[in-house]
């Protein structure tokens, strides 16, 4: 594809130590990684807003991040962009035997749990360490909610899980009680520790309910922002300073904002 070829040429030119951009030349994997994460979030934001023009632009920015990392790896002699593209193609074919497999596999259709089983086999084949864990391969840099959900899901593949939501709800109640006890102790580190356990348990409930915890909180953030801005706008129309309103007045206006945006 000419467009991909052109993009790779642009990246190589930017990284040229003699004639390239000094900023691009000075970067390495660790300095570019935060931009890669940021661009992924901007793609998700464009999707949430339903802005297809912006989505096209943000996808380009994200693709550029992939090309940037591939170029740096090529300079080290590790791998090139073609290796990245070839690798993901082979992986998707391998993980979809019901689409790309034998006639018998295609006729059988997708098997429940097959995706995780194939991934587990891949991890086992690629793991050269003596100590292997069911939790291997879950990136440390993932957002905390996303990583918590992946940890819980991975642990469940070896039977470490509640059979249903009742056990998770009981665990949440237990963690709430422990958090209250920690508050009474007056030790901030214990409060933080118990609060973390509570959050982890809530994420497990989301997993059992088949809800993406990260997306659920993202949606809740957006909902809160819309309602709070509505509350602010209503107060301004009444020439009111919301910082001077008592909790009852704020609650009344909050409930009105919810109704107005329903």
Residues 27 and 189: their CA atoms lie apart, in Å, by 37
The pLDDT of residue 71: 98
Residues 138 and 160: their CA atoms lie apart, in Å, by 17
- Output the six-digit token pair for 252: 């009344």
The pLDDT of residue 129: 64
Burial 189-223 (b: 16+ CB within 10 A, else e): ebbeebeebbbbbbbbbbbbeeeebbeeebeeeee
In this predicted structure, the answer to whether residue 15 has a pLDDT above a threshold of 80 is yes
Helix pair 144-156, 213-237: axis angle to 10 deg: 150
In this predicted structure, the answer to whether residue 155 has a pLDDT above a threshold of 90 is yes
The pLDDT of residue 62: 98
pLDDT tens, residue by residue, 89-120: 999 999 898 899 888 888 888 877 777 777 77
Residues 34 and 142: their CA atoms lie apart, in Å, by 12
Residues 122 and 189: their CA atoms lie apart, in Å, by 39
pLDDT tens, residue by residue, 164-221: 999 999 999 999 999 999 999 989 999 999 999 999 999 999 999 999 999 999 999 9
- Output the six-digit token pair for 14: 């930017």
- Output the six-digit token pair for 39: 């661009």
Residues 173 and 26: their CA atoms lie apart, in Å, by 51
The mean predicted confidence, pLDDT, of the chain is 92
Question: Counting Cβ atoms within 10 Å, is residue 88 exposed (0-12), middle (13-18) or buried (19+)?
Answer: exposed
The pLDDT of residue 127: 66
**Any alpha helices (H) in the chain, and if so which ranges?**
2-14, 22-26, 29-49, 52-75, 81-95, 97-100, 103-108, 114-126, 144-156, 165-185, 188-208, 213-237, 247-261
160 pLDDT tier (thresholds 50, 70, 90)? very high
- Output the six-digit token pair for 104: 């018998």
Residues 85 and 110: their CA atoms lie apart, in Å, by 24
The pLDDT of residue 148: 96
pLDDT: which is higher, 119 or 150: 150
Q: pTM of the predicted model, to two decimals? A: 0.65
Q: Are 14 and 20 in contact (CB under 8 A)?
A: yes
pLDDT: which is higher, 129 or 43: 43
């Amino acid at each position: 594809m000419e467009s991909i070829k052109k993009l790779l040429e642009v990246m190589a030119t930017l990284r040229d130590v003699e004639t390239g951009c000094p900023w691009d030349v000075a970067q390495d994997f660790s300095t570019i990684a935060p931009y890669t994460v940021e661009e992924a979030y901007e793609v998700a934001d464009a999707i949430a807003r339903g802005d297809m023009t912006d989505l096209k632009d943000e996808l380009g920015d994200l693709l550029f991040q992939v090309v940037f990392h591939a170029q740096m790896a090529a300079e080290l002699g590790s791998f090139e962009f073609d290796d990245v593209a070839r690798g993901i193609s082979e992986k998707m074919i391998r993980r979809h035997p019901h689409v790309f497999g034998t006639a018998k596999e295609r006729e059988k259709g997708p098997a429940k749990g097959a995706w995780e089983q194939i991934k587990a086999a891949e991890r086992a084949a690629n793991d050269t360490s003596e100590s292997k864990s069911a939790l291997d391969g879950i990136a440390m840099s993932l957002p905390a909610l996303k990583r918590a959900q992946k940890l819980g899901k991975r642990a469940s593949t070896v039977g470490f899980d509640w059979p249903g939501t009742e056990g998770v709800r009981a665990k949440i109640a237990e963690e709430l009680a422990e958090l209250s006890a920690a508050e009474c102790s007056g030790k901030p580190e214990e409060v933080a520790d118990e609060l973390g356990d509570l959050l982890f348990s809530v994420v497990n409930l989301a997993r059992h309910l088949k809800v993406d915890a990260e997306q659920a909180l993202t949606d809740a953030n957006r909902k809160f922002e819309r309602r709070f801005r509505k509350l602010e706008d209503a107060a301004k129309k009444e020439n009111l300073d919301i910082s001077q309103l008592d909790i009852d007045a704020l609650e009344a206006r909050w409930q009105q904002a919810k109704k107005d945006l329903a």
